[in-house]
Amino acid sequence: VTDVGIHAMEVYFPRLFVDQTELEQFDGASSGKYTVGLGQMQMGFCADHEDVQSIMLTVTAKLMEKHNIDPKSVGFLAVGTETIVDKSKSVKTQLMQLFPGNGDIEGVDVTNACFGGTQAVFHTVDWVYANVDGSRENRWALAVMGDIAVYDKGPARCTGGAGAVALLIGPNAPLVFDRGLRAVHMQSVYDFYKPRMTSEYPVVDGALSVQSYLSALDACYQLYGAKYAKITNGKHPDLSNFAAVLFHSPYARLVQKSLGRLAFHDFVSGRHSHLSSLDQLSAFRDTPLNATYGDKSFEKAVLTASEQLFRAKTDPSLLFARRIGNMYTGSLYGGLCSLLLTQSPSELVGRRLLLFSYGSGSAAAIFSLSVCTDASRLQGLLQSAKEAAYQLDHRVKASPKQFARALEMREQLLGKAPYQPQALCMDDNDGEGMMHFPLFPDTFYLTQIDEKFRRRYERA
Ligand code: ACO
């Protein structure tokens, strides 16, 4: 088995979104804080008739249907999520309703904040290498990741979002995971965690989460460079080697700063022909990395040096992130979909993509994908990206008040049984002429939690 990677991809996000400029006003934040300061335009959200299982059912069913995947041809399915609806029963087992007649599907849920999706992807790749063999077994693996990212009232609420991504993984793929090039950094840190069993909201130390994200990025990039040199007889990579550089995106401005940090690493190691304004970076050449976190003059220098690089290699991957918000486990892979949409295949073929995944707590990795040399093999992925973009433009804008109300409804659902989603019971409007909480066609939704906490779903 060779060239295990991504054959197909499906992205799902909710039909409702809130505008970040309107949210600034509603929250009493200074004008431009969410849009310019954090770089966000819109945020998708779910009412109480969507949960993590329904969004994963939707994205998995769509992947199977659009690509004519026979349910019996799937041998592994791993789920990455941090949106827990049950402390024991996995989301994966709920997805088994999509595979009638095939119980022989390995894999369960993987959880560690936004990183669980990437670990699920790694598991699928490894499963294919270990098990798929023309003579013995020739089956697909699926990685499905998704979350409903919600925060309590306060400065973090505007960095929520919701969505799910499903990937079809197998040999001889158009997007291949590079072997030997997973650089991982894990440590124990209380930057963002969910200790309250009766709340969907995390406990967040915002500043610490940003520092932890950036320090994991530093460690992963250095390790990736060392691993790359090992398999290429000492050749060290820099950002010019990659057609695109993608990041987990809690908000777009952090991603831009992250690319700047990687540019700084290139500069310090003497590879800087792709950077500008080097004199500004020189001032920090001997500054220990630890002293750079949160340093505004350092940030300004790296942002200036990497500005063109950002436009060329990273901005194209941020379309969904800016307009949907943080999809947590799905965020990085939504970035991949966005890249395929906005970058011409001719700029990607035969090249590598660099990806950074981060999950609080913390677990992080930098890894890379090699794009096949034949652009026609990217057509299926491009088509899925176009369909997702079409849906993005056919969402319904909600008011900040309606968004706040949806989150209140979600709060009321927790721990309740029996429960009927309020979004299904509303026949009135909220005085603002809005239709209540619409879904895209073919979306799975929660119809009921029965007296034994069993969840029932139907498809719109
Ligand atoms: N116009 C333009 N920019 C503005 C304005 C304005 N009116 N007001 C503020 N800003 C800028 C600030 O200068 C700041 O920019 P900087 O970071 O470049 O200096 C930015 O907007 C944010 O403002 P802060 O005051 O720093 O924001 P605050 O501390 O209130 O909240 C935070 C930001 C910490 C990201 C919060 O939203 C949060 O906790 N989010 C969840 C945690 C998170 O996403 N962490 C990231 C990694 S972990 C993960 O993926 C979950």
Query: Does 257 belong to an annotated binding site?
Result: yes
- Using CA atoms of 81, 86, 91, 92 in order, give the dihedral in degrees to the nearest 10: 110
36-50, 93-107, 150-164, 413-427: which range is least confident on average? Answer: 413-427
Please give the average per-residue pLDDT across 301-325, as a whole number: 98
Q: Ligand 1 mean position to 192 CA, how many Å?
A: 15
Q: Ligand 1 mean position to 38 CA, how many Å?
A: 6
Percent of the chain with pLDDT over 70: 98
- In DSSP terms, 354 is beta-bridged to 245, 368
- Spatial separation of the C-alpha atoms in residues 72 and 95, rounded to whole Å: 14
pLDDT tens for residues 341-389? Answer: 989 999 999 999 999 999 999 999 999 999 999 999 999 999 999 999 9
- Spatial separation of the C-alpha atoms in residues 415 and 453, rounded to whole Å: 9
Residues 415-445 as b/e (b if ≥16 CB within 10 A, e otherwise) read eeeebebbbbeeeeeeeeebebbbbeeebbb
Q: What is the pTM of this model?
A: 0.97
What is the ipTM score, two decimals? 0.99
Of the candidates 103, 82, 303, 282, the residue with the CA atom closest to the CA atom of residue 193 = 82
Ligand 1 nearest atom to the CA of residue 31, by list position: 7
Q: Name the one residue in this structure whose structure tokens are 């610490």.
A: 208
Residue 16 and residue 90 in one domain = yes
Closest residue by Cα to atom 6, ligand 1, is 33
Residue 10 has which token pair? 């499906």
Domain that holds residue 57: 5-178+394-459
Task: Quote the pLDDT of residue 402.
Answer: 95
Residue 104 and residue 229 in one domain = no
pLDDT tens for residues 376-430? Answer: 999 999 999 999 999 999 999 999 999 999 999 999 999 999 999 999 987 555 5
Please list every protein residue whose CB sits less than 6 Å from any atom of ligand 1: 30-33, 36-38, 114, 155-156, 159, 192, 204, 206, 209-210, 213, 250, 254, 326, 360
Query: Taking 50 as the threshold, does the pLDDT of residue 433 lie above it?
Result: no
User: Of the residues 317, 341, 376, which one is the last residue of a structural domain?
Assistant: 376
Residue 273 and residue 349 in one domain = yes
- Spatial separation of the C-alpha atoms in residues 173 and 152, rounded to whole Å: 41
Residue to mutate, 23, 31, 34, 38, ligand 1, most ligand atoms under 8 Å from C-beta: 38
**Is 383 within the bounds of a domain?**
no
Residue 96 and residue 163 in one domain = yes
CATH of the domain at 111: 3.40.47.10
User: Of the residues 347, 376, 405, which one is the last residue of a structural domain?
Assistant: 376
Of the candidates 203, 191, 164, the residue with the CA atom closest to the CA atom of residue 358 = 191
Label each residue of 129-146 as H, E or C. Answer: HHHCECCCECCEEEEEEE
Residues recognised as catalytic: 82, 114, 248
Query: Does 338 belong to an annotated binding site?
Result: no
**Are the CB atoms for 397 and 17 separated by under 8 Å?**
yes
Q: Ligand 1 mean position to 234 CA, how many Å?
A: 39
